[in-house]
Structure 1
Amino acid sequence: MDVVKKSHWWQSDVLKWSVIGLLGLLVGYLVVLMYAQGEYLFAIMTLILSSLGLYIFANRKAYAWRYVYPGMAGMGLFVLFPLVCTIAIAFTNYSSTNQLTQERAQEVLMDRQYQAGKTFNFGLYPAGDEWQLALTDGESGKNYLSDTFKFGGEQHLKLKEADAIPAGEKANLRVITQNRAALTQITAEMPDESTLTMSSLRQFSGTRPLYTVADNGELTNNQSGVKYRPNNDIGFYQSVNADGNWGNEQLSPGYTVTIGWKNFLRVFHDDGIQKPFMAIFVWTVIFSVLTVILTVAVGMILACVVQWESLKGKAIYRVMLILPYAVPSFISILIFKGLFNQSFGEINMMLSSLFGIKPAWFSDPTTARSMIIIVNTWLGYPYMMILCMGLLKAIPDDLYEASAMDGAGPFQNFFKITLPLLIKPLTPLMIASFAFNFNNFVLIQLLTNGGPDRLGTTTPAGYTDLLVSYTYRIAFEGGGGQDFGLAAAIATLIFILVGALAIVNLKATRMKFD
């Protein structure tokens, strides 16, 4: 006897396809909205991820992919998309002065005005819960009065000639200052149809647009008569000389344009960037390698010590040695910053008392780098110690017993048995530690902020800067403007370098242990 399975209403194909259709319409609307706002990368990413999701959850043959899709979508959204955006920005002139589109930059320039025509003294007079604007011509003494109005938003007030200003006390300077934002949005139209706007806390003046635009997109300064054309090579409206060549003057804000490989070429051709970049790259590699070596060495030695059977109070030592790992790193870094203070830090007080020296930890490049490595070793050894403690448990005791029968001592056991058996499983973690310290931004930012600074560089750079902190300073601390395009180019190079070094390490490891 066949059993007929009853399907619930929420399992019907009609409901399923209705929901999918609604989601499709919503996604389509969002994609069109993003595209209209000029967010092309967001629109493409949303379209791809949403289309894949709808296909996987609508097609029975793709049901197995439902368990993989969330991870793939997360990787695409939080890893691949930022990477693609960074690479895209690297090929543009995107910076603090070049953030807008050309159309928006032109709108900003066209909104600028300059003072022209007569200047009138103004006063505000209360009329119940409203106000009246009164203008006085200083030359002829004529008075002009508006209808009553309330503050708020853009307003166009028509003024009429009046025999006298209103009776009563006019608003003082404090009231005008408090309502200055609203007053700047008022346009006063005189009887001769000329318009005035607020030019100071006591005056209204005639204003005119600073620029006029021609059909070919050329801007003309109405005050000086200078002409400006959009220079798409640099992303600015630039002045044009009488002979048609480019002048030196540029109008800000600029606009974003694609400049090709110029940011990458600047890294290798501009001495003010190339020299600090190469020096910082070498220091970053040295810092990462030394950190891995020292943290593994200290962690491995301490793990062997606390695993020593004859040691009493092992549990207490373990807890004390693991404590640095339990404290948030940014707190430890700030504490060390105080300990290494040259004038008042406890470390210099001890060194001065014992040896009569006070190292300049933050102003001398060598001591500053030494301090960075010391602090990072302190922060990193507990993790390696915990790993080694677990791996030591997996080494058979028979190996040590056989070694003892052959007359081997503790040091021979360590270098002949312990070290070789620990290094192999630790190698992937050492590579991961190298990659992490290659981009250890928090340590540099909180402890030295990259200092001491290098002199004679085009971009801000310090002797303790890593590539990641150097990139941050270019992007957000540039003296000549935040250069996001150059920072993105360097970030792209960092990605390539870290990936290449990781591949080399993995291949070297395989050749060694295969």
Structure 2
Amino acid sequence: MSVTAPSRPPAPAAPQDSDAHGRRWRGPGWGFLAKLGVMALVNAFGVMAILSALRAESWVIFSVAVVLLVVADLVYFTKRALPLKYLLPGLVFLLVFQVFIFGYTAYIAFTNYGTGHAGSQEQAVEAALIQGERRVEGSPTYPLAVVENAGVLGFAVVGDGGVVQVGSADEPLADAPQAVVGDGGAPAEVPGWTVVSRAALISDQALQDEVVNLRVPVSDDPNDGSIRTRDGSSGAVYQSTLVWDAGAQSITDTSTGAVYTADDRGSFVSADGQRLPTGWYVNVGFDNFARLFADPVLAQTLLTVTVWTFAFAILSVVLPFALGLVLALIYNDARLKGRRFLRTLYILPYAFPAFMSALLFRGMFNAEFGVINDLFFFGANINWLGDPWLARGAVVWVNLWLTYPYYFLVCTGALQALPADTLEAASLDGAGRTRQLRSIILPLVLVATAPLLISSFAFSFNNFTVIYMFNNGGPAIPGAPYALGSTDILISAIYDISGVSGGAADYGLASALSIIVFAVVGLISAIAFRQTRKLEEFM
């Protein structure tokens, strides 16, 4: 007789909020929601950057932004790219703030980008025509209203036959058939635009200046002129005495008959060599690099600046290191009372902002009322900031005062890390303090501090703050271009050439000089690090 096994009771059905294994589903966690919120912001800014690049027709930035946004979404919404979740932010910052900036600087170095060559040829033509604008003789005065749309100002004018036209600086006049003309004859309502009231126009000086400088093209052809106003209530047609011929790539001055033809250097040049002040930027190859060596005035000035830069960088490392090491040796002696308090006093200059210290020393070295002359030179009228060599000595002193506490701290740490048994063995062998310092302490300290000394040299080579805040690179070198001075180092010379401080800007030349400085500092650092490794092997 067969026996039938009892059947098991059916398993209870899993709740609707549980999986097949009975694990309760609790929904997305706070971590996922936080990641979702962060990625939503990243995508919002990414799409905004993509649209801005697309509008500006910056195809390189557009492509890079699209790639970075897609990569970010793939990395943070998949489970297989765990290492990249941590590496991607650093890689993006490296790409944007290092690789891109260096690449863009290199690109500018091969162009004539600067004052007078800061835009495209289309923008240069528009600027030239604007500079030659005159009111058309016999041009009627049109009733006009100032209008605004999303922060963009424009003009609405009542033309021939009472037809209202509206436009902005970027959009030429176009008919506005549903516009309403007010009792005064000027447009009162313009669809899609807000009419700026006379009261708002009168009370806002900045708005008045913007309106007076506003030019609304009459048509797509720049030779047809533009509408301008002087009072905000009436306008007239202004045309340039210059006429642009796109086919011949030339601008003709109708008042003189001169013809300016576009050349391959981004300028409009006449037959007698005259140039229009506004040009456009083009690729000029290695011209900027060649100018650094071929232009005799510029080359001589930059040679002076380069020699001083090396001297300043070397002195800014050697002198503070020597002073810091001496102080560290003194205050590392356990027999010295109150050395902790004294160490604190010595590092105070390091805690004070460098730019403020430079400004204070600038006043102290003043020839007329500075305390340096009054207290230390019996009131003598020593022109510290006006004499080239005195100014250089003063800036070296200021930098010494600012940087020796750093080396004091570094050398103190290196001395405290020295092996006591080595010094004790040397003492037992009869080595005096001088021999120990020369043969043991100093070599070991140099091994520990050599990388810091190399990085300090690179920092001093580009120490813009002290030079600029102390005396702005002065005094001026006679006959030097770009207002270069006797205490200017290469980085401040680049700043002057770039025109940021005022005057004509030559970004192409400044970028070329930046590339050379980068190469020089990189080469010196590589050689110095190699020598450091040899020193470590020797020790």
- Scaled to the shorter chain, the TM-score interval is 0.7 to 0.9
Matches within 5 A, 1:275-354: 275-353=300-378
In 2: Cα distance, 1:334 partner to 1:115 partner: 51
> Is the 8 Å Cα contact of residues 111 and 282 (structure 2) preserved in structure 1?
yes
Contact 1:280–1:463 (CA<8 Å) still a contact in 2? Answer: yes
1:382 aligns with 2:382: no
1:220 aligns with 2:239: no
2:173 matched residue in structure 1: none
Distance 1:367 1:23, change over 3 A: closer
Which moves more between the two structures, 45-54 or 469-478? Answer: 45-54
Distance in 1 between the 2:363 and 2:282 partners? Answer: 46
Deviation string 1:415-470 (CA, Å, 9 cap, x unpaired) is 22221221101011111101111100000001121112112233322111110000
| 1:488 equivalent among 485, 491, 511 | 511
> What is the identity, as a one-letter code, of the residue corresponding to 2:256?
S
Contact in 2 for aligned 1:460/1:477 (Cα 8 Å): no
One-letter code aligned to 1:88: Y
CA deviation digits over 1:351-381, x for unaligned, max 9? 433xx86543212222211111111111111
Equivalent-residue separation in structure 2 for 1:21 and 1:448 (angstroms): 48
Q: Does the Cα contact within 8 Å between 1:211 and 1:219 map onto a contact in 2?
A: yes
Give ranges in structure 1 of 5+ residues lacking alignment: 121-134, 136-145, 161-165, 242-246
Indicate the SS of the match to 1:223.
coil
Rounded to whole Å, the distance in 2 between the matches of 1:65 and 1:181 is 49
1:77 Cα deviation after fit = 1.2
User: Would you say the 8 A contact 2:146–2:155 is kept in 1?
Assistant: no
* Residue aligned with 1:349, SS: helix
Q: Provide the secondary structure at the position in 1 that maps to 2:260.
A: strand
Deviations 1:249-300 (A, max 9, x none): 2223211111111111111111122122222222212211121111111111
CA–CA distance in 2 between the matches of 1:176 and 1:396?
77
Does the aligned pair in 2 maintain the 1:199–1:205 contact within 8 Å? no
Q: Classify 1:23/1:370 alpha carbon distance in 2 versus 1 (closer, same or farther; 3 Å).
A: closer
Q: Give the C-alpha shift of residue 95 in structure 1.
A: 0.5
> Identity of counterpart residues, as a percentage?
30
- Counterpart of 2:81, as a letter, is A
Identify the match of residue 85 of structure 1 among 104, 119, 123: 104
* Structure 1 counterpart of 2:288, one-letter code: N
Do residues 47 (structure 1) and 66 (structure 2) align? yes
Quick check: 1:460–1:478 contact (8 Å CA) kept in 2?
Answer: no
Q: Distance in 2 between matches of 1:72 and 1:264?
A: 31
Query: Which position in structure 2 is the counterpart of 1:230?
Result: 262
Q: Which amino acid aligns with 1:236?
A: S
Aligned to 2:482: 459
For residues 144-197 of structure 1, give each alpha carbon's deviation from its aligned partner in whole angstroms, at most 9, with x where no partner exists: xx87x766542424699xxxxx9xxxx9xxx8997676577799x9xxxx9996
Q: CA deviation at 1:395?
A: 1.6
2:134 equivalent in structure 1: 114
Contact 1:27/1:50 (<8 A) preserved = yes
- The one-letter amino acid of 1:415's match is R
* Matched residue, 1:372: 395
Whether 1:427 and 2:450 are equivalent positions in the alignment is: yes
Matches of 1:22 and 1:308 in 2, distance apart? Answer: 57
Give the drift of 1:10.
4.2
- Cα gap change, 1:64 to 1:198, in 2 (>3 Å): closer
Bigger Cα displacement from structure 2, 448-457 vs 55-64: 55-64
Contact (CA 8 Å) 2:212, 2:230: kept in 1 or not?
Answer: no
Cα distance between partner residues in 2 of 1:425 and 1:463: 35
Q: 1:182 to 1:68 in 2, by over 3 A?
A: closer
Q: 5 Å matches for 1:108-507?
A: 108-111=127-130, 112-118=132-138, 153-157=154-158, 182=211, 207-216=238-247, 217-231=249-263, 233-239=264-270, 241=271, 247-353=272-378, 358-476=381-499, 481-507=504-530
Query: Are the counterparts in 2 of residues 93 and 258 from structure 1 also a CA contact under 8 Å?
Result: yes
Q: Which residue of 2 aligns with 1:66?
A: 85
Give the structure-1-normalised TM-score: 0.78
Secondary structure of the corresponding residue to residue 273 of structure 2: strand
CA deviation string 1:216-269 (max 9, x = no partner): 0433323333322222x2212223x3xxxxx42222321111111111111111
Cα distance between partner residues in 1 of 2:339 and 2:41: 64
Once the two structures are TM-superposed, the CA of residue 322 in structure 1 deviates from its matched residue by 1.0
Cα distance change on mapping 1:326 and 1:7 into 2, 3 Å: same
Contact kept, 8 Å, 1:475 with 1:484, in 2: the verdict is: yes
Cα distance, 1:477 vs structure 2? 5.7
**Could you tell me which amino acid in structure 2 is paired with residue 62 of structure 1?**
A
Change (3 A) 1:176 1:77: closer
What 5-or-longer segments of structure 2 have no aligned partner?
Answer: 1-10, 12-19, 148-153, 162-183, 185-197, 219-224
Tell me which residue corresponds to 1:125: none
Name the amino acid aligned to 2:253.
N
TM-score by length of 2: 0.75
1:5–1:507 distance in 2 versus 1, CA, 3 Å: farther
In 1: Cα distance, 2:256 partner to 2:305 partner: 47
Contact kept? 1:93, 1:485, Cα under 8 Å: yes
Structure 1 residue 78: Cα displacement: 1.1
Q: 1:183 to 1:33 in 2, by over 3 A?
A: closer
Query: Take 1:393 and 1:54, find their aligned partners in 2: how far apart are those partners?
Result: 50
* Contact 1:155 1:186 (8 Å CA) reproduced: no
Question: Which amino acid is the alignment partner of residue 103 of structure 2?
Answer: V
CA distance in 1 between counterparts of 2:340 and 2:203 reads 72
SS of the residue aligned with 1:220? strand
Q: Take 1:94 and 1:65, find their aligned partners in 2: how far apart are those partners?
A: 38
* Alpha-carbon distance, 1:478 to partner: 8.0
